């Protein structure tokens, strides 16, 4: 004979003070775990979503990122006419020469951050086809104009449409805001490449260039041809692979989150177990009566486990809802969360609590309920009727 489900769930209300205490402990663990996990997954999603499957990025051999590379104008002029490079309607090679610098920007709260400023030419939007202007227009050549990513907009002084953005040795008029599907490009500022080179006093015109590969062309074969060219010490890689490597910095954060979640989970397990042990101790007469009425050990064990899992479920619901609300509030208040990228610049990440983050928190909450409730439930099921009534 099994105990009805309403018995286990009814105990949550009967002992509501104790239930609320345990639910709060589980909710805090879920809240912290979900927010940390969402930070890591948001960063990984931002970096991995950057780049196009049809693009190659060309840099100096040995360079690990745009900021540490330099490519001559002669190399650009030679490689842009290689076979296999796509062309636009004007029959121009879809090659975007780019220069990267990392000046300081002043945040709204007065702090300073390095921001990636990318010098581009008009063809950049045709090569980076995931980038689209959502406010204003594209910058004009040699006009001292800038377009800013949506992650930059409003985060720094002057980073808004129509304002003057100061960095380097001059100010730049912001004429457009762009988005790129949540990728790391949204944390950048784009200006005219030649003006940026003059302002930064860079003898080499470019840091590298992006190539749109023609349909049907073997990307790896074109990359090998560029690397094997004896005139220039260059190497090419898929743009998606380049940004995937940049996301490896988030792996360390991921394992840190796992470790913190396990430590917090162990603490919550002990808290839940102590609460349920106390519950068993205070319910010896009740347990003895149930056993005397013919309810078996298995029924008692299941009833206490259901009670423990219900508490964990309530803790997950409360902690998950709070984490979702806090994530939205933090992103709205701060304009995103800044992470240091491999280029030593700030990548602005929008904190989004996703289904994966909530699923991981749910597994942790159920583990807390299962492990924390098993031994108290086992102890309750082993109480003999006469012994339980005598102890009372």
Q: Report DSSP state, residue 138.
A: P
Residue 211 and residue 269 in one domain: no
Residue 303 and residue 325 in one domain: yes
pLDDT, tens only, 114-172: 888 999 998 999 999 889 999 999 999 989 999 999 888 878 888 899 999 988 888 99
Tell me if 277 is assigned to some domain.
Answer: yes
Residue 83 and residue 200 in one domain: yes
Tell me if 228 is assigned to some domain.
Answer: yes
Residue finishing a domain among 207, 232, 257 = 232
Residue 307 and residue 378 in one domain: yes
Tell me if 255 is assigned to some domain.
Answer: yes
The pair phi, psi for residue 121, each rounded to 5°, is -115, 175
Q: Dihedral (C-alpha) 97, 103, 107, 112: value to the nearest 10 degrees?
A: 150
Boundaries of domain holding 25: 5-48+248-391
Residue 215 and residue 316 in one domain: no
Residue finishing a domain among 206, 232, 258 = 232
Residue 97 and residue 225 in one domain: yes
Between 345 and 64, name the one with better pLDDT: 64
Q: From CA 232, how far away is CA 227, in angstroms rounded?
A: 8
Distances, alpha carbon 365 to alpha carbons 23, 191, 211, 380, in Å:
10, 49, 48, 22
Give me the chain's average pLDDT, please.
80
156 contact partners, CB below 8 Å, separation of at least 6: 105, 106, 107, 108, 113, 115, 165
Residue 155 and residue 288 in one domain: no
Residue finishing a domain among 232, 267, 283 = 232
The structural domain count of the chain equals 2
Tell me if 187 is assigned to some domain.
Answer: yes
Mean pLDDT of 228-250: 79
Residue 160 and residue 296 in one domain: no
Residue 228 and residue 252 in one domain: no
Confidence check: pLDDT of 383 > 70: no
Chain CA centroid to CA 136, Å? 28
pLDDT, tens only, 293-318: 666 667 777 777 787 888 888 889 99
Tell me if 54 is assigned to some domain.
Answer: no
Residue 150 and residue 23 in one domain: no
Q: Model pTM?
A: 0.70
Q: Report DSSP state, residue 207.
A: S
pLDDT, residue 72, reads 86
Tell me if 241 is assigned to some domain.
Answer: no
Residue 306 and residue 385 in one domain: yes
Tell me if 35 is assigned to some domain.
Answer: yes
Contact (Cβ atoms closer than 8 angstroms) between residue 299 and residue 3: yes
Chain CA centroid to CA 37, Å? 8
Residue 185 and residue 306 in one domain: no
Tell me if 201 is assigned to some domain.
Answer: yes
């Amino acid at each position: 004979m099994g105990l009805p489900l309403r018995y286990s769930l009814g105990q949550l209300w009967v002992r509501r003070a104790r239930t609320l205490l345990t639910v709060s402990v589980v909710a805090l663990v879920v809240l912290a775990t979900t927010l940390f996990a969402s930070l890591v997954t948001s960063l990984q999603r931002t970096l991995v979503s950057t780049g196009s499957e049809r693009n190659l990025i060309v840099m100096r051999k040995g360079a690990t990122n745009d900021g540490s590379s330099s490519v001559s104008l002669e190399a650009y002029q030679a490689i842009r006419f290689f076979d296999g490079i796509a062309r636009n309607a004007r029959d121009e090679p879809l090659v975007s020469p780019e220069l990267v610098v990392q000046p300081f920007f002043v945040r709204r709260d007065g702090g300073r951050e390095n921001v990636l400023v990318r010098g581009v030419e008009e063809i950049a939007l045709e090569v980076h086809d995931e980038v689209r202007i959502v406010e204003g227009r594209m910058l004009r050549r040699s006009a001292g104009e800038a377009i800013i990513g949506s992650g930059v907009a409003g985060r720094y002084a002057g980073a808004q449409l129509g304002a003057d953005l100061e960095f380097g040795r001059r100010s730049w008029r912001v004429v457009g805001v762009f988005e790129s599907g949540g990728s790391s490009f949204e944390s950048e500022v784009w200006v005219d490449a030649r003006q940026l080179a003059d302002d930064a006093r860079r003898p080499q015109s470019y840091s590298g260039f992006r190539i749109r590969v023609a349909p049907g062309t073997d990307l790896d074969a074109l990359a090998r041809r560029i690397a094997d060219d004896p005139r220039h010490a260059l190497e090419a890689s898929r743009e998606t692979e380049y940004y995937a490597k940049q996301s490896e910095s988030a792996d360390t954060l991921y394992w840190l989150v796992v470790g913190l979640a396990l430590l917090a989970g162990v603490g919550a397990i002990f808290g839940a177990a102590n609460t349920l042990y106390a519950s068993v101790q205070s319910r010896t007469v009740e347990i003895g009566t149930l056993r005397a009425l013919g309810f078996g050990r298995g029924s008692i064990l299941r009833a206490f486990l259901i009670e423990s899992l219900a508490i964990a479920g309530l803790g997950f619901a409360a902690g998950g809802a709070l984490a979702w609300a806090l994530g939205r509030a933090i992103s709205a208040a701060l304009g995103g969360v800044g992470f240091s990228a491999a280029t030593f610049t700030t990548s602005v990440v929008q904190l989004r609590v996703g289904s994966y983050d909530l699923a991981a928190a749910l597994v942790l909450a159920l583990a807390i309920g299962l492990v924390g409730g098993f031994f108290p439930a086992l102890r309750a099921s082993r109480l003999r009727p006469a012994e339980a009534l005598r102890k009372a």
